């Protein structure tokens, strides 16, 4: 059986609490001989700053580069609000994304039937929802140059951000999205603003070409990003996979996320290029939520986003889709049984703390596996 190297970076706040529930799962998989994971641990964010005065050390970065996947908790908190900008907790995550060249951000939005009433939208609109937003993560207006504020000398200033995309950046993110669509319901929606932006014109053209050349079997449609946002809240079930740039992806994935209820439920994956020699790709998996300092250390954190992020690692880094399906099914079964952490608690359900939720999911997984 292949050995997979995982780097666990729990981070700050509730990060270590939710990571403990993933570790419980990994230990069980190893003990049962279902998989063989070698785990290392490192510090990132505020905890790394406290130990080494940086947001992540070079040594931890080297471990990340050598791993088959990084499993990341969350960073930040009021304790580190005043530390110098370049060593603030978030800088650790940004360095990981940059140095590992993680250009594709995958954000699934799944609405578990048991939680359909937690959404601000009507049950029939969100029940059974399962969409995947693929956001370009390393290009576009967040990184384009020039990026300046200039004093015009007449009491006015001018701010410039530059939206820039090259063909290869659009091609590679499109391929990730088409490949995902093929494994799902075979439909891809590409979103941009070709009516007012040159980068939108090129985005549309390149996605269309990649489709015609390599993915004719996948259904492709184009939507303007603004009406796409409208459609996301109007009838989200029309979508399977959505691919879009860094800026629109930032906004649209947050909108899609909120269709499903709590932040404590949302996983994500960030992927790099496939290495031609090893056939592996760099990857990092993390919950969408932050370090939640308001509830840290109280056993109140919902570990589902973290566990579902690990399930994404099984699916996208280790080709263990069947096992990932079982983890997802175990989460759905525990929710259907009425167990709830505080963030998703509703009348008539049973309260659970972080550990109880993690244990219940593992127990369901054991039953599904047995």
Q: Which residues are annotated as catalytic?
A: 142, 193, 226, 250, 254
Shortest Å distance, C-beta 123 to ligand NAD: 22
Where is 52: in which H helix or E strand?
helix 46-52
Q: What number of CA atoms fall less than 13 Å from residue 166's CA on the CB side? A: 5
Who contacts 291 (Cβ-Cβ below 8 Å, separation ≥6)? 11, 12, 13, 14, 15, 45, 46, 73, 74, 75, 76, 77, 89
Q: How far apart are CA 24 and CA 362, in angstroms?
A: 8
Least distance to ligand NAD, CB of residue 128, Å: 23
- What secondary structure does DSSP assign to 57-126, as a single string? -HHHHHHHHHSSEEEEEE---GGGTTS-GGGSHHHHHHHHHHHTT--EEEEEEE--GGGGGGSSS-HHHH
Of the two residues 76 and 228, which places its CB atom closer to ligand NAD in the complex? 76
Helices (H), 130-245: 167-183, 198-214, 225-234
Which one, 263 or 274, has the nearer CB to ligand NAD? 263
Nearest residue (CB) to ligand NAD, 68 versus 343: 343
The alpha carbon of 295 is separated from its chain's Cα centroid by a whole number of angstroms, namely: 22
Cα 17 to Cα 290, 336, 356, 370, distances in angstroms: 13, 23, 12, 27
The distance of closest approach from Cβ of residue 225 to ligand NAD in the complex, given in angstroms and rounded to an integer, is: 23
Smallest separation (angstroms) from ligand NAD to the CB of 84? 15
Shortest Å distance, C-beta 327 to ligand NAD: 17
Listing from the earlier edge strand, what are the strands of the sheet with 267-274? 36-41, 3-11, 69-74, 281-287, 267-274, 104-110, 130-136, 241-244, 187-192, 219-224
- Contact of 313 with 283, CB cutoff 8 Å: yes
Contact set with ligand NAD (CB under 6 A): 14, 74-77, 93, 263-264, 286, 289-295, 301-302, 305, 343
Minimum CB distance to ligand NAD smaller for 162 or for 349: 349
In the complex with ligand NAD, which residue's Cβ is closer, 228 or 261? 261
For residue 138, the minimal CB distance to ligand NAD (Å) is 16
Whose Cβ is closer to ligand NAD: residue 71's or residue 75's? Answer: 75
């Amino acid at each position: 059986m292949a050995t997979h190297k995982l780097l666990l970076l729990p981070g700050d706040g509730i990060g270590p609490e939710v990571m403990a529930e993933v570790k419980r799962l990994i230990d069980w998989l190893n003990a049962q001989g279902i998989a063989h994971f070698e785990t290392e641990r490192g510090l990132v964010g505020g905890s790394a700053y406290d130990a080494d005065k940086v947001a992540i050390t070079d040594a931890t970065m080297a471990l990340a580069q050598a791993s088959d996947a990084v499993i990341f908790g969350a960073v930040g908190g009021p304790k580190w609000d005043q530390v110098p900008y370049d060593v603030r907790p978030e800088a650790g995550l940004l360095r990981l994304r940059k140095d590992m060249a993680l250009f594709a951000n995958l954000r699934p939005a799944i609405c578990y039937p048991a939680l359909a009433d937690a959404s601000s939208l009507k049950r029939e609109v969100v029940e059974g929802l399962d969409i995947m937003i693929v956001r370009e993560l390393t290009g576009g207006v967040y990184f384009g140059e020039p990026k300046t504020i200039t004093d015009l000398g007449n009491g006015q200033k001018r701010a410039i951000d530059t939206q820039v995309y090259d063909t290869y950046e659009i091609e590679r993110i499109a391929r990730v999205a088409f490949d995902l669509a093929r494994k799902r319901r075979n439909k891809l929606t590409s979103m941009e603003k070709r009516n007012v932006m040159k980068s939108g014109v090129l985005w549309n053209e390149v996605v269309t070409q990649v489709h015609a050349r390599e993915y004719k079997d996948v259904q492709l449609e184009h939507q303007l990003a603004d009406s796409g946002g409208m459609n996301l809240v109007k009838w989200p079930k029309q979508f399977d996979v959505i691919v879009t740039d860094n800026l629109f992806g930032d906004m649209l994935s947050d909108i899609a996320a909120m269709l499903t209820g709590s932040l404590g439920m949302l996983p994500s994956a960030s992927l790099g290029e496939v290495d031609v020699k090893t056939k592996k790709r760099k990857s990092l998996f993390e919950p969408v939520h932050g370090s939640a300092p308001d509830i840290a250390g109280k056993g109140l954190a919902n570990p589902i986003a973290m566990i579902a992020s690990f399930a994404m690692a099984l699916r996208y880094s280790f080709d263990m889709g069947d096992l990932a399906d079982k983890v997802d099914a175990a989460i759905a079964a525990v929710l259907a049984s009425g167990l709830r952490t505080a963030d998703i608690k509703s009348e008539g359900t049973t309260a659970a703390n972080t550990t109880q939720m993690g244990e219940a999911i593992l127990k369901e997984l054991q039953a599904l596996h047995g």
